[in-house]
Amino acid sequence: MRKLTNNIIGKNISIVVLFSILTISLNAQVNQPNIVFILADDLGYGDLSVNGGTDVKTPNIDKLFKSGVTFNNFYSNSTVCSPTRASLITGRYPDMVGVPGVIRGVKDQSWGYLCEDALTLPYILNKAGYETALIGKWHLGLESPNTPNERGFKFFHGFLGGMMHDYYTHLQHGNNYMRKNDSVVTAKGHATDVFSDWAIDYINIQKNRDSPFFMLLAYNAPHYPIQPPKEWYEKVKNREKDISDKRAKNVALVEHLDDGIGKVIKALKASGQYENTIIVFSSDNGGHLPSSASNGNLRGGKIDMYEGGIKVPTCMVWNNKIESNSALNVTGVTMDFYATLTYLAGIEINHEVDAINLMPDIGDKTIKKDDRTIYFVRRAGYKYSGLCYYAVRKGDYKLVQNSPFEEFQLFNILEDPLETIPLDDNPKEFHNLRYQLSQHIRKAGAIPWQKKEK
């Protein structure tokens, strides 16, 4: 049996000084870990108490961060839902798999179509013996062939669409997109509770099976409409005396989400599966400022290419395998979990991906430079004339554009994390990133993002 030493970073130090904390087998048939990936929707960077939120209490999510490795420089692949989700399940930039923007049921408002030949993460895990499930939000297609069951999830219990217009009726534009596999279902209760309960049901079913499982638990919360249960809202209003009604609703929706996540973790422990389960927590993009989300000290929010729109709170836990209270400073993106999780599951990838393994073997003690170029894209509708806008990150430099009609600006994120001082006097880095972006756009231009008309 071949083994490699995988090294998880110690608290607040660089990846290059990390040594033998995690040892795993690369044999895909031996002791494969379960994987639970928890994805929040529009969670603000400052809307966790572990991230410095002073008016929000998130003890269960906080505990996850303290129980494993925190990714200090982690980004969503886009400023909105569908592109990031496409990157998560394909390991590619979203415009490389046909999803540069939000997929919607209305043709003239839809800006993506997931490539039918993309090899998805659940598909790859299936081939390696995993049971796979999506609980919650899909948002990558409403019809065949782009439904969860057809894209690798053996079990789907959730919501096909994007945003719910009501957390209790679960409707979008009057349509019921709740499904159990391909069957329409009617659920009762707040969507966060519904998805937590369905996740717990799946965990309890899996405890009696020999196969490992991968469960993507994709909540709608705290995406607008900001609609927490009444008792959670009242608790926040009573506790935070100076809080506005709008802010209190957002905080309550996040705290209610935290409670649901706590119940899911409790179910993993009660079923005896926690010890060999990798748990990842992240968000699909930054917090929505008009809904009174907080992105802490970061500039901007959802839809922006500033840090507040794409930097997301992210951690990974694997009990007794990943060091608690540790941190990783290398820049990561949502798509990287494709390569990271397959590696930790002992699965070799033989097809093209853009993702990198965030937990590489560095037993040779050579320096790993954080020097790749990372691209962020969003295509959108009327306001943007159907065009894309971008950000590019390499090392400490970041090129930013927040609409197709805005000039690019260059920032040094290390020296200027609030992105307030454009580097007009650094034409070399500016033109270098612009050129690299042009080549990415050139490559992505070969990928169709609309379904061909019959």
CB 180 within 8 A of CB 187: no
CB 416 within 8 A of CB 424: no
Instruction: Pick the closest to residue 292 from 331, 320, 253 (CA basis).
Output: 253
CA 317 to chain centre: 15
CB 76 within 8 A of CB 312: yes
**Residue the block writes with tokens 């994805």:** 39
- Tally the C-alpha atoms within 13 A of residue 174's C-alpha that lie toward its C-beta: 0
**Residue the block writes with tokens 């040779």:** 364
CA distance 137 to 158: 6
CA distance 118 to 376: 19
CB 97 within 8 A of CB 111: no
Q: What DSSP element (H or E) covers 118? A: none
> Can you list the pairs that 384-393 forms with residues at least 24 positions away whose Cβ atoms lie under 8 Å?
386/111, 388/95, 388/100, 388/101, 388/441, 389/305, 390/305, 390/437, 390/441, 391/305, 391/310, 392/433, 392/434, 392/436, 392/437, 393/75, 393/331
Any idea what DSSP says for residue 95? G
Tokens of 27: 């044999």
SS3 450: coil
Following DSSP, what letter does each residue of 184-253 receive, concatenated?
E----S-HHHHHHHHHHHHHHHHTT-SS-EEEEEE--TTSSS----HHHHHHHHHH-TT--HHHHHHHHH
CA distance 164 to 75: 25
Give me the sign of the Cα torsion angle 264, 221, 356, 82.
Answer: positive
Q: Could you list the active site residues?
A: 81, 139
